[in-house]
Amino acid sequence: MSLSAAEDAATDTVPAPLAAGPLARFVRGSLGSGMSVLARAGGALALNKLLAVFGGPGGLALLAHFQNLMALLTTLPNDGVHVGIVKYLAPHRPGSAGWRLWFGTGLLLNAAVLLLGFLALPLLRGPLLAAFRPTPGWVLGLVAGITLLTAHAYLAAVLLAAQRLRPYIALTVMLSALGPAAVAGALAAGWAVPQVLLAYLLGQGLTAVPTAWLCARYSLLARPRWRISRPAVLGLGQFLLMALSVLLCSKAVDFAVRDLLIARFSLSQTGLWQAVAKLSDNYTMVFSAVMGAVFYPRLAALAGQPAARQAYVRSVFGLLAAALALGLGSIWLLRGVLLPLLFDARFAAAGALLGPQLLGDWAKFLSWTLLYLLLADARVGRYVLVQVLSAGLYAGLLAGLLPRFGLYGAPLAHALRFGALLLGCGLYFRAYFRR
């Protein structure tokens, strides 16, 4: 059956969800998803503590280096193929022709992207692998761990597409626990830090086993259609392009900004900005996890119901605008307590930088909520254009504000960047706010 025929088949599609209670559904899902976010945060704290105590500063540096390597190999599958597969699987019944077609295409694209990453490893041996003094066995373990972790992430995306949020949350909690547990066991056995980090990756990768079992239990592992479907490849390829734009226009830009501030100001001054940025990263992780697990799959499921989708977006946007203002405002009021508590008494001075950072984050989260619509509709050109324009505006603001305002110019540029982005998104998606 062709792709278009599969999508037209009446037995292939999921029945229309009830329109009643979209906000209640979002709130319930967000509260459940919050458990998985807390587990991830707790796992990260435990991991950092273990490496700091037993590995010292060098151990923490190697951990950051290793996590960067993991991100390099998994960003395109996670932010590209897996985001796309949620959109394209969500409208289909598990086991249908359309489900099998998209499921098989996602597997093939994941394999291709991973293979390209693994083939590039020899080229990256100097900057990324040399610090671990890898043996052939270590590299083989790295490849196995990344493959298992990507398999887990792909199957977890399949669970999200089927709107199986509870098992998804349980698996996230398990993933957060297995990594630190593997590290603790490896440290107790007296392993060197590079081997401990490999144990961390393989421990997380083992989550692929229960993930596959749960997908089989819910009949989500129907035999894939392995033939190459050009429309399916193009559809998921669009999400890979969007993921690439995020990689280049967001993560690379953030890295360059940090280098710029270190070069322009003292290391201790830059540390104050880093404390504010790190605090922002922590609650941004919470927001991204909730929206990725609850909001985005629902948007994908409502693709053929414009009225219900508009009502859903409008209600969630209003709730978030108020809730984020309350939460970020509370952080501002408690800044004198939070910054010394989370970091050190010396970081209390970072409170002067927190105001524009919080304003920018409020605008960032609301603009991201609307940009999920571009993701859900696979509007590749527009999504990439937004990323490029946003990064260019940020660079221009930094160039103009840092000489005039000093370090304060960095969070000020952040606030103006996302304020402008929110204004542009509000104008572009204004139809969603008309009743």
State pLDDT tens for residues 262-277: 678 876 677 677 678 7
Largest CA distance in the chain: 65
Under 8 Å between Cβ of 165 and 139: no
Domain final residue pick, 228, 262, 295: 228
DSSP letter (8 states) at residue 345: G
115-145-112 Cα angle (round to 5): 15
Query: Are 76 and 218 spatial neighbours (Cβ–Cβ below 8 Å)?
Result: no
Q: What is the distance between the alpha carbons of residues 54 and 344, in angstroms, rounded to a whole number?
A: 22
Per the model's pLDDT, the better-predicted residue between 62 and 353 turns out to be 353
Question: Do residue 275 and residue 367 come from a single domain?
Answer: yes
- According to the model, what pLDDT value does residue 417 have? 97
- Reply yes or no on whether the pLDDT at 384 is more than 70: yes
The owner of tokens 């996602």 is 106
* pLDDT of 398 over the 70 cut: yes
Residues 203 and 293 in one domain: no
- Residues 96 and 6 sit within 8 Å (Cβ to Cβ): yes
Domain ranges, residue 390? 247-433
Confidence band, pLDDT 50/70/90 cuts, at residue 216:
very high
Q: Is residue 237, in this structure, part of any structural domain at all?
A: no
Claim to verify: residue 255 and residue 220 sit in the same structural domain: no
**What ranges in 162-192 are assigned the alpha helix state H?**
165-188
Q: What is the pLDDT, as a whole number, of residue 27?
A: 66
Q: Are residues 132 and 271 in the same domain?
A: no
pLDDT the model gives residue 263: 76
Token digits for 265? 């100001």
For residue 300, is pLDDT > 80?
no
Amino acid identity of residue 44, one-letter, is A
What are the angstrom distances between the C-alpha of 142 and each of 67, 115, 137, 200?
12, 13, 9, 10
Instruction: Tell me the two tokens of residue 337.
Output: 């307590």
Q: Determine, yes or no, domain membership for 240.
A: no
Same domain, 305 and 404: yes
**Interval 12-37 mean pLDDT:** 58
Confidence of residue 112 (pLDDT cuts 50, 70, 90): very high
First vs last C-alpha separation in the chain: 40
Looking at residue 7, its pLDDT comes to 35
- Average of per-residue pLDDT across 145-158: 96
Residues 220 and 339 in one domain: no
Q: Please tell me whether residues 206 and 259 are part of one structural domain.
A: no
User: 146 and 64, same structural domain?
Assistant: yes
Written as six digits, the tokens of 212 are 């596959």
* Domain co-membership, 309 together with 212: no
Q: What are phi and psi of 378, to 5 degrees?
A: 55, 45
Please check whether residue 236 lies inside any domain of the structure. no
Query: Residue 10: what pLDDT?
Result: 36
3-state SS class at 13 = strand
Q: Do residues 97 and 212 share a domain?
A: yes
Q: What is the pLDDT of residue 84?
A: 87
pTM of the model: 0.66
Q: Do residue 266 and residue 146 come from a single domain?
A: no
Asked whether residue 342 carries a pLDDT value surpassing 90, the answer given is no
Q: Is 427 exposed, middle or buried (0-12, 13-18, 19+ CB in 10 A)?
A: exposed
Answer yes or no: is 238 within a domain.
Answer: no
Q: Is residue 59 part of a domain?
A: yes
CA distance 182 to 322: 41
Mean pLDDT value of segment 302-323: 90
Arithmetic mean of pLDDT over the chain: 82
Range in 7-16, 115-124, 303-312 the model is least confident about: 7-16
Mean pLDDT, rounded, for 165-193: 89
Domain-terminating residue out of 178, 199, 228:
228
Structural domain includes residue 278: yes
How many CB atoms neighbour CB 40 within 10 A? 18
Q: For residue 39, is pLDDT > 90?
A: no
Which range, 16-20, 64-68, 85-89, 111-115, has the best average confidence (pLDDT)? Answer: 111-115
> Whose structure tokens read 């392009």?
241
Tell me what pLDDT residue 2 has. Answer: 36
| pLDDT bucket at 111, cuts 50 / 70 / 90 | very high
Domains: count for the chain? 2
Q: Which of 172, 196, 228 is the last residue of a domain?
A: 228
Report, as an integer, the average pLDDT of 194-222: 93
CA-CA distance, 300 to 309, in Å (whole number)?
A: 9
Name the pLDDT band for 383 (thresholds 50, 70, 90).
Answer: confident
In a domain, 241, yes or no: no
CA angle 203, 207, 208 (to 5 degrees): 120
Query: Which of 196, 177, 200 has the alpha carbon at shortest distance from 186?
Result: 196
Higher-scoring residue by pLDDT: 1, 426:
426
364 has pLDDT over 80: yes
According to the model, what pLDDT value does residue 69 have?
79
Q: Which residue has the higher pLDDT, 290 or 21?
A: 290
* Structural domain includes residue 234: no
362 vs 57 pLDDT, higher one: 362
φ, ψ (nearest 5 deg) of residue 92: -105, 150
The mean per-residue pLDDT over the stretch 184-212 comes to 93
Q: How confident is the model at residue 14 (pLDDT cuts 50, 70, 90)?
A: low
Residues 383 and 418 in one domain: yes
pLDDT: which is higher, 193 or 146: 146
